[in-house]
Structure 1
Amino acid sequence: MTEHSLLQIAVLDDWQSVANNVVDWTVLDAIGKVRFLHEFPADTASMVARLESFDVVCVMRERTLFNEALLSQLPRLKLLVTGGMRNAAIDLPAAARLGIQVCGTDSYKNAAPEMTWALIMGITRNLVGEANSLREGGWQIGLGGDLYGKTLGILGLGSIGKWIARYGQAFGMRVIAWSENLTAERAAESGVTYVSKQALFEQADVLSVHLVLSDRSRGIVDAQALSWMKPTAYLINTARGPIIDEAALINALQHRRIAGAALDVYEPEPLPADHPFRHMDNVLATPHIGYVTENNYRTFFSQMIEDIQAWHGGKPIRVFD
C-alpha cells in the first residue's frame, strides 16, 4: 500500500497526550497513518478544518460533539470509533444517512464506581481541605463526617449504581434507591430498599447520581428535588452534568441548603475558567476523570485498533445500531 492510499486516522480528544503510549498503534502501519490530536472541542468550522483530511476518527465518549452540521462537512470520513458502546455526542441517524460506520468498544467496569467512592470519601472527610492545610504548613481544620449508619441514596440502580450500593453496604450504610424504571423487587435483589423519588432526596445523607443521560433524565435533579435534601446532605455526580439543573445546584450550594457536592461531570466540558464550581468551598470538583484510568484507556484504544482492522477487512465489529 502506498503512502497516498493509506488510511488517514485521527485519534481525537487526547487531552492528556497519553493515547500514543497506552497501546501499540504501529500495528496499523500497514493500513493507515495515525495522528494524535490534543485540542479541546471547538466551533464547527474549526472542527471541519481539523478533521476534513481523515478517513477514520477515534473519539472519547462524549467529549466532542459529532452532530449533522459537522458530519455533513466531512465527506472523507467513513469510520467513527468511540470509546464505550454509547455516545450521546454522536448523531447516529445522520452518520447512517451519510454512510459513516460507527463502532464502539468495551470499557473497564470498575473505574467509575471507584471514582465515585473516592469523591464520597473526599467530600465527607474534607480530604482536599485537610491536605491543603497540611501543605500550607497548617494542621487539622475541622471535623470529618461519618458514613457508618448513614443513608446512601442512589439515583439509578444500574451497573454502576449496584457497585455503589455494594460499597455503601460494606461501609455499614443503609442503601436506598429510586429511578423511574426501578421496582422494589429489582432493588431487593441488590439488598437495596426501593423508595419514592421524594423519599430518596429527603432521607439520603449522601445522594449519588447514576442515571444515563436522556431526554427523560435531563434536569431530573431540579430545584424541587434539591429542596427536599437535608442541609447536612451531600450530592455526588459522576454520571452526566445535564442530569442536574446546574443553576439550581449552584443556588442551593451558595445558600448552604445542602452541605456540599462532589462533581466529576459538567455542562459544558471543559468547565469554563470562571465557573463557580471551580471556586466554591463546599464543592469538590474533578475534571471528568471517572473513566480516565490506565485499564480503561488500554481497553478503549486496543479495541479501537481492532475496530479499524475489522472494518478495513470488510467485517466491522461492535457496530452501533
Structure 2
Amino acid sequence: MKIVIPDDYQDCVRHLDAFSQLEGHDVTVYNDTVTDLDELAERFKDAEALVLIRERTPITDSLLKRLPKLKVISQTGGGAAHVDIAACQQHGVTVMAGKGSPYAAAELTWGLILAAMRHIPEEVNNLKAGRWQCTLGTGLKGRTLGIFGYGKIGSLVARYGQAFEMKVLVWGREGTRQRAAEAGLTVAQSAEALFEQADVLSLHVRLNDDTRGLVGASLLGLMKPSALLVNTSRSQLLAPGALEAALKAGRPGQAAVDVFDEEPVTSHALLALPNLTATPHLGYVEKDSYELYFGDAFRNLLAFAEGQPVANLAS
C-alpha cells in the first residue's frame, strides 16, 4: 500500500517503535507544511492511504477530487474537524478514528501555569543574559483555579490544582457541572462568575459550532488584572482578536497558550506581548502519546487493508 504521512514537523514518526508496523509498505513522510492545493495534490496523487497527524492537514472536497487513488484516511486521535467527512463519503474514502490520551495535554497545561505564574521563561532568559532575580512570581496555594469544561483533560487539571492546594471552581455544560459536583468540586454560579473569581482559568471546551468564539471581550473583561488565562484546547474558542485586546487592556493580566488559529505559526501579534507565555501546540507532542496515537492509526490502517472491521468516522 502507498501511504503518505504529511506534516511530521519534528521528523519523529520514522523513529517511533510503532512505525515498524508499516514494514513492507511504500511509505512517504513529509516534514514540512504545504497549504497550496496544487502542491498538496501533487504530493498525495499516488497515495492509497493518508495518515494524518491530528488536525495539521485539512482534507477538502477540492483536494479529494484530485486524489482518485485515495482509499482511506487513518486519523491519529479521535477528532477530524479538519476532514470533510461528507466529501470523503462522496469520493468513497474511508475515514478512521483513533484513540488519544489526556495526560500529555494536561501535563503541558500545568507546565504553562507554573511557567507563567512564576515567570520561568523570562527568568531563564534573564539568568543567561547575566541578570539575577528580575521578577516577583505568584504562588498557587490557596488561589482559585477555574476549569471551563470538565472532561478528560479538565478533570486531570482540576486534580493537579487540588494537589497544589488550590480552590477548584468549575463551569461548563450541564453534564460538566454534574460531573464536577459528583467529584466534590465547587460549581460556579455562571460562566461570568467563573471568569470573575478565577486566579488561573484554564479552557478545556471542545470546539464546535456552538463553542466557536465562546470566550469574548465581555467574559475576558471580567477577569482580575492579576489573573492568568490558559488555553491548551483550541484557539477558536476565543473570539477573533479578543485575547490580544484583553491582554493589552490588562484583564486578564497574562495568558498562556499552546494553540493558534492557523498553525504552524512563525509570526503572530500575540507573540509580541510581554504578558503572554506561548508554546507551539505541544500538548499532545510527547513520546508516549505519539506511540499511542500512531500505533492505533497504523493498526487501523492495516486492519482496513486486510478487510477487517475498523472505527469509521464516516459511517
Q: TM-score range by the shorter chain?
A: over 0.9
Deviations, residues 239-281 of structure 1 (Å, cap 9, x unaligned)? 01100124111011122232100000010111242x1222211
Aligned to 1:150: 143
- 1:304 deviates by 2.0
Q: Which runs of 5+ in 1 are unaligned?
A: 1-6
Q: Which moved more, 1:310-319 or 1:122-131?
A: 310-319
Aligned residues of 2:48 and 2:69 also touching (Cα < 8 A): yes
1:247 corresponding residue in structure 2: 241
Deviation at 1:40, TM superposition (A): 1.0
Residue 83 (str. 1) matches residue 54 (str. 2): no
Amino acid at match of 1:109: P
Measured after TM superposition, the shift of residue 24 of structure 1 is 5.0
**Alpha-carbon displacement from aligned partner over 1:282-321 (angstroms, at most 9, x marks no partner):** 0001000100000011112222221121011001423224
Number of aligned positions between the proteins: 313
After superposition, the C-alpha distances for 1:39-92 in whole angstroms (9 at most, x for unaligned) are 214122221112111100101111111122212221111010111111210111
- Aligned counterpart in structure 2 of residue 314 of structure 1, from 289, 307, 313: 307
**Equivalent pair of 1:310/1:317 in contact (CA under 8 Å):** yes
Report deviation, 1:178: 1.1
Question: How far apart in 2 are the matches of 1:37 and 1:97?
Answer: 27
8 Å contact kept, 2:149–2:176: no
Q: Note if 1:282 corresponds to 2:271.
A: no
1:297 pairs, out of 270, 278, 290, with 290
Deviation per CA, 1:176-210: give whole Å up to 9, x if none. Answer: 11113346432212222111110011111101000
The answer to whether structure 1 residue 64 and structure 2 residue 64 are counterparts is: no
2:222 maps to 228
Compute the TM-score of the two structures, normalised by the length of structure 1: 0.94
SS at match of 2:241: helix
Aligned to 1:228, the other structure's residue is in SS state coil
Q: 1:93 to 1:181 in 2, by over 3 A?
A: farther
1:23 aligns with 2:17: yes
RMSD (Å), alpha carbons: 1.4
**Alignment equivalent of 2:169, drawn from 161, 176, 196:** 176
Matched with 2:258 is 264
TM-score (norm 2): 0.95
The answer on whether the counterparts of 1:25 and 1:34 sit within 8 Å (CA) in structure 2 is no
Match for residue 210 of structure 2? 216
- 8 Å contact from structure 1 (residues 201, 229) kept in 2: yes
The residue correspondences of 1:2-41 to structure 2 (distance < 5 A) are 7-30=1-24, 32-41=25-34
Letter in 1 for 2:213: G
Residues 213-261 of structure 1: CA deviation (Å, up to 9, x unaligned): 1011111110111111111111000001100124111011122232100
Structure 2: distance between partners of 1:25 and 1:237: 31
